[in-house]
Structure 1
């Protein structure tokens, strides 16, 4: 059975692609993006990767 580790990261709207590309290069898979607590101007990404 696969076990997962999770990360929650804030996304800057002007650098979303670069941020997600970097986390993806480190083996993280994007699960979901939701509005952040500051409203529609901020986003929060939820990521997962298999535990090693």
Structure 2
């Protein structure tokens, strides 16, 4: 299972990507963020680090 964090400044894009990713059996969205600072804060709080790419 790959853990994914979605970072985008548009809420509709984040939601759409999350819905699309959740369809895949081997992917799960563990967090979303609207900017880089929020992403770093949420990343630091995660116990399981997402796949970076």
TM (norm. structure 1) is 0.41
Structure 1 or 2: more strand by fraction: 1
Larger Rg: 1
Greater helix share, structure number: 2
